[in-house]
Amino acid sequence: MSTESVRDALSSAPPLTLDGSPILHQMFQINWKAWRQLNADTQRDVAQEASLALGALKNTAPFAMIGHKGDLMMIHFRETFDQLHQAQSQVARLRLSDFLEPTTSYVSVVELGLYDSTVKLHASATERGIAPGTPEWEKEMAEGLEISRKAMAQRLTGEIPSRRYHCFYPMDKKRDGQDNWYSLPITERKDLMIDHGKIGRKYAGAVTQIISGSIGFDNWEWGVDLFADDPLVFKKLIYEMRFDEASARYAAFGPFYLSLQFEASGLAKLMQGQTPAFTS
């Protein structure tokens, strides 16, 4: 392979990624009309059964949604997709599910994009005469990924942050004419993502962010979960990022969902039309 061919191959290369915990978001409308037809004792029993069942599930949390897009969201982090389906089935078996009407859902997996590491690995291998696609090249990439995986292990085993407010939205990178993210050289994509990340780091401590990949799993390419103690931080962070080139030129956003995390024991309050509390 010629030097020019190697350069072209590297320019269009996708970034290496580390994939962690699978995630399922479930959004529901509550059928209040059907719920009100139950007597108080039955309502209490149904809510208590659901509270106990959800409280026993590790890395599952309920959220009270704000707005017309739903009343209840459940987020599940699991180790495998099989376990994710099991969590979905456990919710479906609850008597409460008779009163929950799905509005949408989202399937993804915790993802760390390694733009900088990818460029460095490619440059190192190329300098040593290792051609893309060869067994030697694949070995270099695998070893580099393993080093990164060990260094970032805690960020891959997703846990639901213990914070009251939650914002979720899906997004894509554009493929529109001159604004085609996937036609940019990887070095340009890397630089844009580094600048984009600098904005996020300004909000470190105020916001916990979890990026998940959903290409091949759902209708959008990524899902973004933001958790904070102050919901106004979501507005400030996302607004500031809109002026960054990676977003201004190349990002397309899906619907936004705002919700309040609460303890499973507060489900009865939600079903009574009250706002359940959360103790972080």
Q: How far is CA 209 from the centre of its chain?
A: 8
The label of the residue with tokens 């580094």 reads 194
Other Cβ atoms less than 10 A from the Cβ of 57: the count is 16
Q: Which of 34, 63, 53, 45 is nearest to 92 (CA)?
A: 53
* Closest among 79, 82, 84 to 21, alpha carbons compared: 79
Residues 6+ apart with CB under 8 A from 171: 220, 221, 222, 223, 224, 251, 252, 253, 254
Give the integer Cα–Cα distance in Å for 127 and 144: 16
Residues marked as catalytic: 169
Neighbours of 229 (CB within 10 A): 13
